[in-house]
Structure 1
Amino acid sequence: MKQLIVLVLILASHQIFAADTLHVISHKAITVTTEPSSGTKSFTSWVVFPSKDEKLRKINLNITFGCPDGMRCADWDYLDHIYIRRKGGVNGPALNYEIGRMLTPYGGAFGKTWSFKWQADITDFSMLLRDSVEIEYIHTGYEPNNDRGWKVTVDFELVKGKPVLEPVAIHQVYNKVFAYGDGSKPFEDSLKAFSFTAGKKSQHARIFIYQTGHGMDANGCGEFCSRYREVWYNGRMIDKRDIWKKCGDNPLYPQAGTWVIDRAYWCPGELNQPDIYDVPVKGGSQNVVDINMQPYITDKPSANELITAYIVEYSSPLQTNDVAIEDIFAPTDKQVHGRKNPASINPTIVIRNNGSKPLTKVDIRYGTIGFAEKQFTWRGNLAFNGKAVVTLPGAVEGKTGQNTFRVTLLSPGGRKDAVMDDNSMSTVFTRVPVHGKALVLNLRTNNQPEHNDYYIRNAEGKVVYERKPGTLKANTDYRDTLLLQPGAYELLLTDTAGDGLEFWFNNKGGRGICRLLDDKGNLLKNFESDFGNFIHYGFEVNADSTLHTSPASLPAVGVYPTRSAGKTTLDYFGNKAGKVVVKIVTDPGDTVVEEHVYNDLKEAVFNYDMSYRPPQRYYVKVYVGGELVFNKRLRIEAKR
Structure 2
Amino acid sequence: MAFADSGDTTTVQVHDNVDMTWYGHYKKWGEFPTEGSFRKVLMHFDMGCASTGCSGWDYDVHILLRNRTNKLDSNLVLAPSYSLDGSSPDTIQFSYSPTYVSAWDSIGGDTAIANDTLVLVWYQDANDPFLATDTQYVYAANYYNMTYDSAGAVIDSVWVAADTTLYLSNTDTYNVYEIIEDFELGRAITPYGTYMNPANGSYGTNGYDENWKHRFTYDVTDFQHLLKDSVEIDAFYSGWSSGFSVTLNFEFIEGTPPRMPLSLSNVYKNGAAGYGYTNSANFESQQMPEVKVATSEYASSFKLQFVPSGHGQAGEFTPNVSYTAKVNGSVVGGETIWKDDCGFNAIWPQGGTWIFDRANWCPGEAVPIYNHEITPYVTAGDTALVDINFSSYNPNGDASYSCAVHFFQYKEPNFELDAEVIDIISPSLKDQYSRLNPICANPVIKIRNSGTQELTALTIEYGVKGGTMQTQQWT
Instruction: Give TM-score scaled by structure 1 length.
Output: 0.52
CA 1:72–1:297: 2 relative to 1, 3 Å: same
- Which residue of structure 1 lines up, in the alignment, with residue 238 of structure 2? 140
**Equivalent residues in 2 for 1:135-214, closer than 5 Å:** 135-143=233-241, 145=242, 149-175=243-269, 176-181=273-278, 185-214=282-311
CA deviations on 1:380-421 (whole Å, 9 max, x unpaired) are xxxxxxxxxxxxxxxxxxxxxxxxxxxxxxxxxxxxxxxxxx
CA 1:150–1:221: 2 relative to 1, 3 Å: closer
Contact 2:291–2:385 (Cα < 8 Å) also in 1: yes
Alignment equivalent of 1:251, drawn from 315, 333, 346: 346
- Which residue of structure 2 lines up, in the alignment, with residue 215 of structure 1? 312
AA aligned opposite 2:296: G
Aligned residues: 352
Alignment equivalent of 1:97, drawn from 179, 183, 195: 183
AA aligned opposite 2:63: I
AA aligned opposite 1:76: W
- Give the Cα–Cα distance (whole angstroms) in 1 for the partners of residues 251 and 24 of structure 2: 25
AA aligned opposite 2:380: G
| Aligned-partner SS, 2:285 | helix
| Aligned-partner SS, 2:433 | helix
- Which residue of structure 2 lines up, in the alignment, with residue 67 of structure 1? 49
- Which residue of structure 2 lines up, in the alignment, with residue 440 of structure 1? none
- Which residue of structure 1 lines up, in the alignment, with residue 451 of structure 2? 355
- Give the Cα–Cα distance (whole angstroms) in 2 for the partners of residues 97 and 365 of structure 1: 38
Contact 1:202–1:282 (Cα < 8 Å) also in 2: no
Alignment equivalent of 1:307, drawn from 382, 398, 403: 403
- Give the Cα–Cα distance (whole angstroms) in 2 for the partners of residues 126 and 315 of structure 1: 13
CA deviations on 1:195-220 (whole Å, 9 max, x unpaired) are 2232111121011111100001xxx3
- Which residue of structure 1 lines up, in the alignment, with residue 227 of structure 2? 129
CA 1:376–1:94: 2 relative to 1, 3 Å: same
Deviation at 1:28, TM superposition (A): 0.7
In structure 1, stretches of 5+ residues that fail to align are 10-17, 35-39, 380-640
Alignment equivalent of 2:62, drawn from 75, 81, 86: 81
Deviation at 1:185, TM superposition (A): 4.5
- Give the Cα–Cα distance (whole angstroms) in 2 for the partners of residues 46 and 92 of structure 1: 17
Deviation at 1:182, TM superposition (A): 5.0
Alignment equivalent of 1:289, drawn from 372, 386, 396: 386
Contact 2:280–2:391 (Cα < 8 Å) also in 1: no
**Equivalent residues in 2 for 1:365-376, closer than 5 Å:** 365-376=461-472
- Which residue of structure 1 lines up, in the alignment, with residue 210 of structure 2? 112
Contact 1:205–1:314 (Cα < 8 Å) also in 2: yes
Deviation at 1:107, TM superposition (A): 1.0
Aligned: 1:48 with 2:31: yes
AA aligned opposite 1:177: G
Contact 2:69–2:181 (Cα < 8 Å) also in 1: no
| Aligned-partner SS, 1:119 | strand
Contact 1:74–1:106 (Cα < 8 Å) also in 2: yes
CA 1:123–1:223: 2 relative to 1, 3 Å: farther
- Give the Cα–Cα distance (whole angstroms) in 1 for the partners of residues 225 and 280 of structure 2: 40
- Give the Cα–Cα distance (whole angstroms) in 2 for the partners of residues 183 and 241 of structure 1: 16
| Aligned-partner SS, 1:221 | helix
| Aligned-partner SS, 1:109 | helix
CA 1:182–1:352: 2 relative to 1, 3 Å: closer
- Give the Cα–Cα distance (whole angstroms) in 2 for the partners of residues 32 and 373 of structure 1: 46
CA 1:309–1:186: 2 relative to 1, 3 Å: closer
- Which residue of structure 1 lines up, in the alignment, with residue 426 of structure 2? 330
CA deviations on 1:232-269 (whole Å, 9 max, x unpaired) are 12211122321100212221111111111000011101
CA deviations on 1:352-382 (whole Å, 9 max, x unpaired) are 1121111111111111112211011111xxx
Contact 2:222–2:260 (Cα < 8 Å) also in 1: no
Which structure is larger by alpha-carbon Rg, 1 or 2?
Answer: 2
- Give the Cα–Cα distance (whole angstroms) in 2 for the partners of residues 183 and 359 of structure 1: 39
- Give the Cα–Cα distance (whole angstroms) in 1 for the partners of residues 218 and 345 of structure 2: 15
CA 1:74–1:98: 2 relative to 1, 3 Å: same
- Give the Cα–Cα distance (whole angstroms) in 2 for the partners of residues 207 and 231 of structure 1: 9
Name the % identity: 30
Moved more, 24-33 or 175-184: 175-184
In structure 2, stretches of 5+ residues that fail to align are 72-176, 197-208
| Aligned-partner SS, 1:290 | strand
- Which residue of structure 2 lines up, in the alignment, with residue 317 of structure 1? 413
RMSD after superposition = 2.4
AA aligned opposite 1:192: P
- Which residue of structure 2 lines up, in the alignment, with residue 511 of structure 1? none
- Give the Cα–Cα distance (whole angstroms) in 1 for the partners of residues 365 and 409 of structure 2: 28
Instruction: Give TM-score scaled by structure 2 length.
Output: 0.70
CA 1:184–1:197: 2 relative to 1, 3 Å: closer
Aligned: 1:31 with 2:19: yes
Deviation at 1:104, TM superposition (A): 0.6
- Give the Cα–Cα distance (whole angstroms) in 2 for the partners of residues 221 and 62 of structure 1: 29
Deviation at 1:341, TM superposition (A): 0.9
| Aligned-partner SS, 2:440 | coil
Contact 1:194–1:289 (Cα < 8 Å) also in 2: yes
